[in-house]
Chain A
């Protein structure tokens, strides 16, 4: 039998379709918006609570040294930067113009993923550096009131903890993020090649 005997168009259009009413769609839209708002609240409340806690410490204990204050500021800056960049990345991704040809759209997706890949590892490293500097400065005032022995132990444990995070957690986290993004980039590039 030759090609023309199979009427693909006819078969294609026989697929059962169930058109939900418009109210369902609008309910879904509301749900969408709510979910977006909720995730925004979650990260920002967390950030706000941590900052409020730190400011409370500042106010309550009245640190004398400037190093303590700088330390507090650095820690807050680190957190704001991290959340800010992360929110920004998510927004870029959500706002890609969908009215482009598939080819342009795929190229945009690849570009954004590359940017995301770079930002994530860079920002994560900066986050750790700022936090480390902040904590060390913050601790100085209190350590200076301890005996040398206890001060050394305090700093030792803190640095050990930070070292563990820097040398173990950070690379692991970056690797995990990169693997996920790389896989997607490869996939999108493959699809884009289909259009060559």
Chain B
């Protein structure tokens, strides 16, 4: 944590893997997989070092990096008008997201062993995606954030389009179109902010927007702020996804390979929540308050809509996709509550759903690998042949439906705790979602594992050794957060204080 380019090294470390991979012959399957896996480790180790040092009392500010990059425009009073710097830095929230990304990347690299073809290209894109994701959370600057944000789109497009299932191309295109439109809207917001304030540094923007008499290049009206916040809501709402912008996400979750869905559901969707909390809430606190009710309503709609749709799906992947929509509703509920409990719940849900979705999609991959279907009606009685996998699937479902002792409960509980304080009636409507979550998850999971098998699954083997690694790590983390939530809440304290100060609560 002492040396100068710690964060840059962390963010760009997967590039070393890409470099090594480019010199390897295409046919060396196991070597390529090994390099792909190893290349994710430096980021993991470095992020864990940062986490534990922070828990031990070290300050995160010493990690910040700043290198001058582009300057232009000059005025007598203000000096250099526009400057874009290469700035990396962390706070509690982004540190947690960074650790989550690094952990899930390593686990997804292990899960990538199920990939059947063209490992070289796959792992190069995979590592590039990791760079993008790490960068998104480490960027201290909106323009840098946007660049990393775009970096995540391109590898994901190819990873879905080339290594996915039957309708992979369609899924990849709808992913790209939706997210491309989303990031175009985001770019507009960033450019307006940049043009009016002359800076794109997040902290400087927060200060400029909350100051009574800020030094701006050009004035920003209240309407403009509201417009920008709504644009941000759309941009990140596509990512999250918020009803009714969700249909691309269902397609991606069904068609993409399991290892990519792990990352997609685990990290990429969370960029939406991250952006909403950090930029939406951080830069436009006053406007955010006036939208809080809308967000909470959208959250409840998301929660119920996803839950009811998950209830009638026949494909387990579809169930999980709609369940993701439903669970992102809880993030919105927490954000909409706009008090400590709610926001903390939302952040917890971001992490918790990341872990749980990764676990469930990995297990879907394990099943699919063996029986070539994820259709509930074709499965059944799998607990007989694959008791361990079935047990973990049940554990994942329990975590997802918010069983105490697992991370899902803590986040769900806090989000609802927050909302009940502000809007009890809406929250009470939302609790129907808690029941429905149990209904659709048990229907799906018991449909797969319990009862009579619909066809003969003779010769189906249980989990192999390497498959235990991601499952055990994920279950371990889920239980850890569920039993001892301070691992998350303590690093978040200062971030939450900052946010609450901005809101004025």
Q: Bound pair: A and B?
A: no
Binding site for B on A (CB under 8 A): none
Chain B residues in the interface with A (C-beta under 8 A): none
